[in-house]
Amino acid sequence: MKIIRFKNKDLHGFGRLKDGIVTPLKGGNTPFDCDLSEDCFEKDICFKLEDCQLLTPVNPSKVIGVALNYPGVSNQEPSEEPLVFLKSSNAVVSSGTDVSLPRSLPAWGESELAVIIKDETKNISENQKVEDCILGYCVANDVTCDNTQRRDHHLAISKSQDGFCPIGSFIETDYQYENKTIRGYQNGELIREGNTIEMLFDVEKIVRYLSTCMTLFPGDIILTGAPSRVREKIYLSKGDAYSVSIEGLEEITTQFI
Could you please report the per-residue DSSP string of 77-144? PPPSS-EEEEE-GGGEEETTS-BPPPSSS-EE---EEEEEE-S-B-S--TTS-GGGGEEEEEEE---E
Kindly indicate the confidence band of residue 76, based on its pLDDT and cuts at 50, 70 and 90. low
DSSP 49: G
Among 165, 161, 113, 164, residue whose Cα is nearest residue 137: 113
11, 31, 55 - which closes a domain: 55
Whether residues 105 and 138 share a domain: the answer is yes
Which segment of 8-12, 35-39, 224-228, 253-257 scores lowest on mean pLDDT? Answer: 8-12
Average pLDDT, the chain: 94
- Claim to verify: residue 223 and residue 192 sit in the same structural domain: yes
> What pLDDT shows up at residue 26?
93
Verify that 174 and 238 share a domain, yes or no. Answer: yes
- Boundary (domain end) residue, out of 21, 39, 55: 55
pLDDT at 73 over 90: no
Q: Are residues 42 and 138 in the same domain?
A: no
CATH code for the domain of 101: 3.90.850.10
Task: Please check whether residues 219 and 105 belong to one and the same domain.
Answer: yes
**Based on the domain organization, do 89 and 164 belong to the same domain?**
yes
Please give the pLDDT value at position 23.
Answer: 96
Same domain, 45 and 67: no
Q: What share of the chain is helix, strand, coil (3-state, %, to 5)?
A: 10, 35, 55
DSSP state of 211: H
**For 37-51, 91-105, 147-161, 212-226, which range has the lowest pLDDT when averaged over its residues?**
147-161
* pTM for the structure as a whole: 0.95
The mean pLDDT of 250-254, rounded to a whole number, is: 97
**90 and 31 co-located in one domain:** no
Residues 47 and 68 in one domain: no
* H/E stretch holding 208: helix 203-213
* Residues 200 and 177 placed together within one structural domain of the fold: yes
- What is the SS3 assignment for 197? helix
- Same domain for 7 and 79? no
Burial of 109-130, coded b for 16+ CB within 10 Å and e otherwise, reads bbbbbbbbbbeebeebeeeeeb
Residue 146 DSSP SS3: coil
Residue 51 shares a structural domain with residue 81: no
Residues 35-53 have a mean pLDDT of: 95
Q: What letter does residue 9 receive in the DSSP assignment?
A: S
Number of domains making up the chain? 2
Domain span at 141: 63-255
Q: What pLDDT does 28 receive?
A: 76
Of 94, 38, 77, 107, the closest CA to residue 252 belongs to 94
Q: What is the C-alpha to C-alpha distance for residues 187 and 112, in angstroms, rounded to an integer?
A: 18
